[in-house]
Copies of this chain bind each other. A is one copy, B any other.
Amino acid sequence: MSVSVTVDLVILTVRDDELQVLVVERGNPPFEGQLALPGGYLRGRETLDEAAVRELHEETGVDGIRLHLEQLRTYSDPARDPRGRVITAAYLALGPDLPTPVAGTDAREAYWVPVKTAMQDGALAFDHVQILRDGVERARSKLEYTTIAMMFCTEPFTVGDLRRVYEVIWGMPLDPSNFRRKITRADGSLEPTGDRRVHTTGRPAALYRRGAASLLMPPFLRTHEYAS
């Protein structure tokens, strides 16, 4: 059977000490006027990955290289789109505090909203709340054993910047001292620039760039709430 295929993006960033997601206001039915994840149809001669990069560029004006982008999951409930059979491949994009989103070529308004808000039942069109929840959960667990948290930081960044990313995404305070010890000992994760940043207050902090390692070894385990 023949179906339509779309790509939807969960674009996350940390702004104002909150995890936020980029949403657009829909300009056409169905769900006209409601908020939804940005996305669009897969075109004839492109892969899903390419479509995701294209959509990302259209929505944020970012060239993609600066962002982490990965396939999240494909959603296929026959009733998920009232127009007919449409399945969507969701992608997760993570980036530093991005330029205020430009309205895409499709002339829709785009906004950053806290995920806390957008994850509420009914906050987004289609099954996008579920997609967003899955994306946030993926990000949360990937902080444990990969270095993707650094994708939320503009280089160069400090250990404190990175810690704040963890605290915001996990929603819990972390001991600054133990966090530093752990993250600085993890292999090739951090690359010191040699410079220091003078904060508004307090001792200047050493600056780092992202290192080559993509895996955190040893991993950074949260004290786990029980997952079923």
Whether B2 pairs with A76 at a CB distance below 8 angstroms is no
Shortest Cβ distance from A5 into B: residue: B3
Residues of B with C-beta under 8 A to A2: 2-4
The residues in A between 22 and 73 inclusive whose CB is less than 8 angstroms from any CB of B are 41-49, 71, 73
Q: Considering only CB atoms and an 8 Å cut-off, how many residues of chain A contact the other chain?
A: 35
Q: Is A198 an interface residue (CB 8 A)?
A: no
Task: Given A224-B215, A228-B214, check contact A3 B42 (CB 8 Å).
Answer: yes
Please tell me which one of the listed residues B1, B49, B73, B218 contacts residue A5 in the complex, with CB atoms under 8 A apart.
B1
Q: A46-B78, A215-B227 known; 15 other A-B pairs, CB under 8 Å?
A: A1-B4, A1-B41, A2-B2, A2-B3, A3-B5, A3-B42, A44-B85, A47-B77, A47-B78, A48-B74, A48-B87, A214-B228, A215-B224, A217-B224, A218-B221
User: Which A residues have a C-beta under 8 Å from some C-beta of B?
Assistant: 1-5, 41-49, 71, 73-74, 76-78, 85, 87, 89, 145, 213-215, 217-219, 221, 224, 226-228
